[in-house]
C-alpha cells in the first residue's frame, strides 16, 4: 500500500467571500507570533481551507519576500488579490495588520514589563522558538519544491552557506545569486 505524496496538488476550494476573507486574515493577524505567520498562513489557507495549493502559496511567498516592504503585508496582499482581485487585497491587508497593531498599542507596554518576570520571560522565549519552527517548516516545504535539480541544490547551498557561515548580507546574496537562478530557469524553460 503506497502512501500519498504530501506535495500532491489538491483541488482548490471555492472562492471565499469578502467576509470570510476578512475573518481569516483577522484571525491570523491576532493569533500569529513572530516569523511564524508564514507557517500559520500556509496551514490556514493551504491545509485547512484549501484556497491554494502548496505551489501557489510558495509562489506568492517567494514573490512577497523578494519585494520591498513587510513580508506578511506583501503576502496578505498577494493572497487576497488571488482570491478576490484588488478588493480582496484591500480586505486582506488591513485585516492582517490592524489586530496586531491595536494589540501592541493596548498591551505592548504591559507585556514588556511582565517579561522581566522569569516565568513570563521564559514563556515568551518559548513562543519565539515555536514561531521559528513554523518558519522553518515553510522553508523546508519551499526547499522541497525548489530543489528539483543539481543547479537548484547548488544555488540553495550557496545561499545557505553565504548567509549562515559567512554572514553575507541578504541583499548581496540576492544580488549575486538571483540573476543566476533566473538565467538557469530561463534556459530550462527554453529546452524542448
Note whether 131 and 35 are within 8 A (CB): yes
Least confident of 27-36, 77-86, 179-188: 27-36
* Residue 131 confidence (pLDDT) above 60: yes
CA nearest 83: which of 17, 25, 37?
A: 17
DSSP 78-109: HHHHHHHHHHHHHHHHHHHHHHHHHHHHHHHH
- What is the 3-state secondary structure of 140-179? HHHHHHHCCCHHHHHHHHHHHHHHHCCCCCHHHHHHHHHH
| Max intra-chain CA distance, the chain | 63
Over residues 71-112, the pLDDT tens digits come to: 899 999 999 999 999 999 999 999 999 998 898 888 888 888
The length of the chain, given as a count of residues: 192
Give yes or no for residue 7 having a pLDDT over 50: no
pTM of the model: 0.71
Other Cβ atoms less than 10 A from the Cβ of 153: the count is 13
Amino acid at each position: 500500500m503506497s502512501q500519498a505524496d504530501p506535495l500532491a496538488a489538491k483541488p482548490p476550494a471555492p472562492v471565499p467571500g469578502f467576509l470570510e476573507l476578512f475573518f481569516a486574515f483577522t484571525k491570523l493577524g491576532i493569533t500569529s507570533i513572530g516569523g511564524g505567520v508564514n507557517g500559520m498562513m500556509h496551514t490556514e489557507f493551504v491545509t485547512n481551507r484549501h484556497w491554494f495549493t502548496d505551489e501557489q502559496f510558495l509562489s506568492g511567498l517567494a514573490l512577497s519576500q523578494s519585494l520591498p516592504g513587510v513580508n506578511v503585508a506583501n503576502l496578505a496582499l498577494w493572497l487576497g488579490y488571488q482570491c478576490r482581485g484588488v478588493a480582496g487585497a484591500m480586505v486582506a491587508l488591513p485585516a492582517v495588520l490592524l489586530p496586531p497593531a491595536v494589540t501592541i498599542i493596548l498591551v505592548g507596554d504591559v507585556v514588556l514589563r511582565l517579561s522581566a518576570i522569569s516565568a513570563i520571560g521564559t514563556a515568551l522565549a518559548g513562543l519565539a522558538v515555536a514561531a521559528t519552527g513554523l518558519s522553518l517548516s515553510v522553508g523546508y516545504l519551499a526547499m522541497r519544491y525548489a530543489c528539483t535539480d543539481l543547479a537548484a541544490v547548488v544555488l540553495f547551498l550557496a545561499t545557505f552557506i553565504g548567509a549562515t557561515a559567512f554572514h553575507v548580507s541578504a541583499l548581496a546574496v540576492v544580488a549575486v545569486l538571483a540573476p543566476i537562478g533566473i538565467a538557469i530557469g530561463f534556459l530550462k524553460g527554453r529546452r524542448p
